[in-house]
Amino acid sequence: MSEPPPNTSTTPPYPATISYKNHHLSTSTIHGGAATIRDYRKGNWTPEETLILITAKRLDDERRITTTSSSRTGGELRWKWVENYCWSNGCLRSQNQCNDKWDNLLRDYKKVRDYQNRSTGQPSYWAMDKTQRKHLNLPSNMLPNIYEALNDVVQKKHFPNKTSFPLQQPLSALPPPPAPLPPPPPPPPASEASAESLESQGDEAERVDSETKRRRVRDEDIGSAIIRSTKLLSETLKHHDDNKEKRHNQLLELEQQRLQLEETRNEVNRQGIAALITSINKLSEAIHSLISEKRT
């Protein structure tokens, strides 16, 4: 993967026109003490943004390997460095977005890598469509070039002796080196080693604690969303059952009314026929009586 050309400006470049849709404004401190407002982009990551993030992470790993403990302590936070690099190359994302996206990328990469390593006699991940990948609980949209870039970063991080890490030309997002301080009196070697060890442990503990808190908050949000969804589904099903029972009772009442009307109509018909027969009989008797009177 080719690296973007270095920028001589000390401020990360901004796009010529800024769309405020799917963006978030934030005040960020730029090297040199000046403050500016960064318009963070939201929404799904594009493949180009993802490759820029992977490049930034690879360069940050190399930078941290070649940087001494003392200078790393005085420098900026690692994900802030990644954010500055991304901004200098057109990826307008915040350090938290970069951190979360990197965690998701590593998780998807490990799933694909583990499947490829154990998929003896099974189709390759790259030969499957999205439906087959989802059926196997695999990422549905991992691209080959992104996978190769992630593989390169992971291999270099876990096997640093296999490849060399030449010092890259300084980029605009890199912080300027701190001004040299007057050398302090040389401490005892044991104290120096102990101080460096404590500083390194403190940085690592702070990073782990920050990531743990962020994941805990994210898990709590997911749990709350699941509980709300379950409650809403339960209420919807109960409302549906109540409406179904109500409609059933209404149908029973209508059927009973129909039967009553039918019985009433039949009774009216029977009474009408009986009255008609009675009238006919009376008329017949009257006719016979009239005929008898005329004969006499």
Higher pLDDT, 140 or 169: 140
121-139 confidence digits (pLDDT tens):
889 999 999 999 999 999 9
Predicted confidence band at 163 (pLDDT cuts at 50, 70, 90)? very low
What is the pLDDT of the chain when averaged over all its residues?
77
- Per-residue confidence (pLDDT) for residue 164, from 0 to 100: 38
Please check the confidence at residue 181 and state whether its pLDDT lies above 50.
Answer: no
In 3D space, the residue among 41, 165, 157, 160 whose CA is nearest the CA of residue 109 turns out to be: 157
Distance (Å, rounded) from C-alpha 13 to C-alpha 21? Answer: 19
CB-based contact 42:23 (threshold 8 Å): yes
pTM over 0.85: no
pLDDT at residue 157, as a whole number:
76
> What is the pLDDT, as a whole number, of residue 19?
37
How far apart CA 53 and CA 47 sit, in angstroms, is 10
Give the residue-averaged pLDDT of 163-168.
37
